[in-house]
Structure 1
């Protein structure tokens, strides 16, 4: 049975760049995203260029029934997922009183529920084989939740806490769970409003490929969590030495539009 690396959110940003890097290393891939056109293009290009098997599934993972169906189809097709990258997710920016409740509920479904669901389903299979690796993509905001990113920050704090705890549970099972924590990345994630904040002026987005390179290393060989970039590592540790009230004022200023 051929082995595959499954990447969610594979059609853009970190997921897209990870697919390119892993294909170059001759790993077979299962690509999951909502954009059918991009998935089809990636399959044709990667399979031809690197002589690997590339499967794709067009799925909206904020729909939990569709998430379960994705797993069911992979099982029926007898595709063995040796590595899972839970990268799909999205965020929103704005005052909590003004942002869309429907959008935030979908965000929770995608960033939290779907990620947890895929982790559980594939981790059970991996544990039965005593082999497998799962990498969940969290965020710098897992450590320093920002005002105006309230639900997104909370969702990524969940990803980090969830990943670290199950990594400990699975320590002797043959299944390794890691967490990638990027800072600001140059992807379509960022809205024009986000780009006008003090935070994005002071901490410029890094190329998605740079984060993907760190992600590939963590997925294949790493353990624990990885904060990408020294500057982001330093920022993630500020709450340890800064009083919480002062820290929140700093974060609110950073998350506010440039004056």
Structure 2
């Protein structure tokens, strides 16, 4: 089952997967920047009697720029998509999984879950939320047969990266990786017993810098990395 707001892309991916792997793929067109659409998605899945044993909450957007200059509407939609819809889907599907005694949910967090960057103020906050939410719900579900996991990638070579993001120092020193690598790590995490995964040694090292670096120095480093290269 695949969900996205772009029907044409969904249809192309459905056709490709079915022809390549001989499987049946169900698609749902939903704009998850409105949490009510997440609820209606769940109801339609139930209506169609589809059994969801593994759920990946991958939908997300980012906004880059000075907080006083960025679009409030875009940031509110980002909070709705990155946090509210993710909570809705995690709650509704985890309740069904617990009743069945098995299941796995993976929420896509970020390197910025550990390392909030200036110029990504709201995005960093949403990803910190995703990580904290996933870890705490997973702890609650111990013994139920259901796990909630968090995948924490760094920069990925996808349409998520805007031209402004690509010009930052962070993207110069920590190059985006191919989405195929992230997908492989996501599948590995989904089917093992680990609660989270930071993708790549570079990202693991960077995520641990705040443990050994004073806050005021760390924030200067992060602001420099998040600034656009000259």
TM-score, with structure 1 as normaliser: 0.88
Question: Residue 50 of structure 1 corresponds to which residue in structure 2?
Answer: 21
What is the alpha-carbon distance in structure 2 between the residues aligned to residue 107 and residue 176 of structure 1?
A: 25
Cα drift, residue 175 of structure 1 = 0.2
User: Helix, strand or coil for the counterpart of 1:54?
Assistant: coil
> Counterparts in 2 of 1:108-127, with a 5 A limit?
108-127=79-98
Matched residues, number: 230
Contact 1:177 1:223 in 2 (8 A): no
What is the alpha-carbon distance in structure 1 between the residues aligned to residue 111 and residue 159 of structure 2?
A: 17
Match for residue 217 of structure 1 among 188, 196, 199: 188
Cα drift, residue 222 of structure 1 = 3.6
Q: What are the Cα deviations for residues 24-83 of structure 1, in whole angstroms up to 9, with x where unaligned?
A: xxxxxx000111011111111211221111000010001122111100000000000000
Which structure 2 segments of 5+ residues have no match? none
User: Helix, strand or coil for the counterpart of 2:172?
Assistant: helix
Cα drift, residue 223 of structure 1 = 1.6
What is the alpha-carbon distance in structure 2 between the residues aligned to residue 64 and residue 250 of structure 1?
A: 35
Q: Which has the higher strand share?
A: 1
Which structure 1 segments of 5+ residues have no match? 1-29
Question: Residue 131 of structure 1 corresponds to which residue in structure 2?
Answer: 102
TM-score, with structure 2 as normaliser: 0.99
User: Does 2:45 align with 1:74?
Assistant: yes
Question: Residue 97 of structure 1 corresponds to which residue in structure 2?
Answer: 68
Q: What are the Cα deviations for residues 181-231 of structure 1, in whole angstroms up to 9, with x where unaligned?
A: 000110100110111111100111010111110001001224211000001
Q: Which runs of structure 1 show a deviation greater than 2 angstroms over 4 or more consecutive aligned residues?
A: none
For the aligned residue pairs, the C-alpha RMSD in angstroms reads 0.7
What is the alpha-carbon distance in structure 2 between the residues aligned to residue 199 and residue 136 of structure 1?
A: 24
What is the alpha-carbon distance in structure 2 between the residues aligned to residue 253 and residue 58 of structure 1?
A: 39
> Counterparts in 2 of 1:202-213, with a 5 A limit?
202-213=173-184
Match for residue 241 of structure 1 among 204, 212, 226: 212
